[in-house]
Amino acid sequence: MSQSQGLLRGTPWKAIVLFSVPLLIGNVVQQLYQFVDAMVVGRHLGVLALASVGASMSLLFLITGFAWGMTSGFAIPVAQAFGANDIKGLRRSVAAGAILSGATSLLMTLVGTIFIRPLLQLMKTPPELIDDAATFGFWSFLFMFTLVFFNFLAAIIRAVGDSRTPLVFLAIACLLNVALVIVFVAVLDWGIAGAAFATAVSQLTSVLLCVTWVRWRIPVLHMGLDDWKVTMPELREHLNLGLPLGFQTSVIAIGTIAVQVRLNDLGPNAVAAFTAAGRVDGIAVTFLASLGLATSTFVAQNYGARQIDRVKHGVRQSLVVSIIVSIVIGLALFLLGAVFVELFIGSEQPVVLNLAHDALKIYSVAYWILGVLFVVRGALQGLGHMKPPFYSGIAELVMRVFTAVVLGALFGFIGVAWGAPLAWIGSIALLIPSYIVISRKLEERTYRSGPRTEEIEVLSAPLLAEKGVVADPTILQGESFEDVRTGPIPIVRDRGETGQFPALDETYVLTDDESTSEDPEDEQA
C-alpha cells in the first residue's frame, strides 16, 4: 500500500519517475526475451532464420498487441477503485478482467495456430522464409495464454501500486529464457521452434510467480465467490475500456503488417535489417513507454481520489521529463546504433548492418515526439477516455500504410523507415488537442463551497486511514489535517452516479468516536 500512497502525494514527477523505474527495468527485461531469441537465432541459425522470426513478428504483434492493450485497459478501473478505496469494486474489476482475458487468449490461440501460414502467404512472405516463420508463429500462438495472463496480472499488481514485483518475476523469467534458448537452439538443435518454446516456458513461470505472490502478499486481491459473480453490465464496462485500447494497438499492428509486406518485396536483407533495428529500437524506447504507463497509473489513482490539480501537474511534469530523456536516448542511438545492431548479425553482413543503422538514425531524431505521445496517451487512458487514443491509432495506421505504399515504392528501405516518425506525428496531432479539451473540462468539476475560491485540499481514503480516520471516499476542505480533526469542516460524499461532483453542502464535526470508527456506514449523515 505504501507505494500506491506515493502516487497520491509528494512531488508528482518524482512519484511518477520512481514508479516508472521498475517498469523501465521490467520493460528492458521483457525486451530481452526477444533480444536473446534474435541474437541466438541470428548467430546460430543465420540471417535467414532471423528474417523468418521477423516475418512472423508483425502477425504476433497484431494479436498479442490486442491482448496487451485489452489487459492494460482492464487495469484502469482497478487503479481508479484503489485510489477511491473501493475494495469491493476493485475485486469485481479484477474478476471481470480475468474472465475477459481468458476468453481473449483462447480466441487468439485458435485463430493464430489455424491461420498462421495462410496469413504469411497473404503477406507475400519470401518462400525461403515461410516454413520457419510459420513454425515460430505456431508455437508462439499455442502458448499465447502465458503472455496474456502475465500482462494482465502484472497490470493488476501495478494498479494497486506495486511496480517492483512484476520486475522481479520478469527478471527471473528472462534468466530462465536465456538458459533455455541456448539449450533448445544451440545444444539440442530444435531450431526456430526451440526459441519459441523457451520463451513460452519462461512466460508460464512468470505467470505462476504472479499468482503465488498475489495469494501470499496482496490481501486486497484475494477474491471471494461473490466477487466472481460479475454481471453483463460490468463486463461491458470493462470491454468499453479494454476494447478501444486493444483495437488501438491492433490498428498500429496493421500498419506494421503493411510495412512488412513492403519489406518482403525488398528481400531478406531488408527484412533482417528492419528486424534488427526493431529490436534495438524496442529497448531504446522502454523508458518512454514506462513513463507513459506510470503516468496512466498515476492519473487513474489520483483521479479516483479526486485530486484533479495533482493529475494536471503530474502530466505536465511527465512531459518535461519524457522530452529530456528522449533527446538523450535519440542522440546516443544516432551515434552508437551500429554497435547494438552488430550484436544480432555480427560484422559479416555490412549491407544489413548499414540499413539497420540508417533506420535507427531516422527513429532517433523523432524520439521526442514519441515521448510526448506516450505521456499524453497514458494520461487519457488513466482518465478513462479511450476514444482519442483509438482515433490516434487510426491516424498512425494511415501514416504507416502511406509510407509503406508510397514512400517505400519511391525510396525503398529508407522510405519504409520513415513510417515510424510520420506515424508518431499523425498520432499526437489528435492526442494533444483531445487532452487539452478534456483537461479543461476537468476544471469545471473542481470542488467549491459557497464563495470560497482558494484551492481545496483533497485527501483520499487511504490517506485518511493513515491519519486515523476511516470513512467512505470523501472530499475534505481545510487548511491542514489538524483542522479536520479539531473543527467543523465541509464534507461531501462521492455520489458519482451522475458523473458530476455535488456541491459542498453539509457540515460535520469529527469526534474522537467518529475518527476511529471502522464502519463507513456509521459516518453517513
Please write the tens of the pLDDT for every residue from 309-356.
Answer: 899 999 999 999 999 999 999 998 888 888 888 876 666 778 888 888
Q: Is the pTM of this model over 0.75?
A: no
DSSP 267-304: -HHHHHHHHHHHHHHHHHTHHHHHHHHHHHHHHHHHHH
H or E, element range at 358: helix 350-364
**Taking 80 as the threshold, does the pLDDT of residue 30 lie above it?**
no
Q: What local confidence, expressed as pLDDT, does residue 435 receive?
A: 92
Q: Report the amino acid identity of residue 49.
A: A
Question: Of 52-61, 411-420, 425-434, which has the strongest mean pLDDT?
Answer: 425-434
Q: Report the amino acid identity of residue 150.
A: F
List the grid coordinates of 25. 527495468
Q: What SS3 state is found at 312?
A: helix
For the segment 413-426, the average pLDDT, to the nearest whole number, is 89
Task: Point out the least confidently predicted range of 32-41, 142-151, 260-269, 407-416.
Answer: 32-41
DSSP 116-184: HHHHHHHTT--HHHHHHHHHHHHHHHHTHHHHHHHHHHHHHHHHTT--SHHHHHHHHHHHHHHHHHIII
Distances (CA, A) of 211 to 153, 205, 206, 406, 508: 8, 10, 9, 48, 43
**Taking 50 as the threshold, does the pLDDT of residue 494 lie above it?**
no
Cα torsion 195, 115, 58, 416: sign: positive
The per-residue pLDDT for range 281-290, each reduced to its tens digit, is 887 888 888 8
List the grid coordinates of 322. 519524457
Compute the distance between CA of residue 76 and CA of residue 518 in angstroms, rounded to an integer. Answer: 28
CA neighbor of 116 nearest in space, from 60, 198, 196:
60
Q: What local confidence, expressed as pLDDT, does residue 35 receive?
A: 66
Compute the distance between CA of residue 125 and CA of residue 248 in angstroms, rounded to an integer. Answer: 25
